Amino acid sequence: MFLFRRNGPRVTVDEARARTRGDQPDAVLLDVREKPEWVAGHAPGAGHVPLTKLLAGGTLPAGAEGRPLVVICRSGHRSQQAVKLLTERGAQAVDVEGGMNAWAAAGHPVVGERGNSGRPA
């Protein structure tokens, strides 16, 4: 399956965007950065749950339960931790190489909390 590669569960930002956009996306984009980072700018349509909440036993946002997850953070470190935790819980999850920094650098859209143009923090 596309989401799981032999060299580890990672995807590029282009692969992440392709998997999580459209009317019926194959996966849910899950942002695990902290709230101030999320508010500053995130990918449109992404779900949000900070890694700290996941580590404390928090649940996934509505619409993400039971779906394949593409997990993103600022640079890729926290998303790798989240993927490990989520797969241990039985989820199908991959992390995005380079995180929101790479997402924005690739020219993919970033919106603020109110849907206006944002910036990754």
Catalytic residues: 73
Q: Give the Cα separation of 103 and 107 in Å (integer).
A: 7
- Measured torsion, CA atoms of residues 16, 64, 86, 12, in degrees rounded to the nearest 10: 0
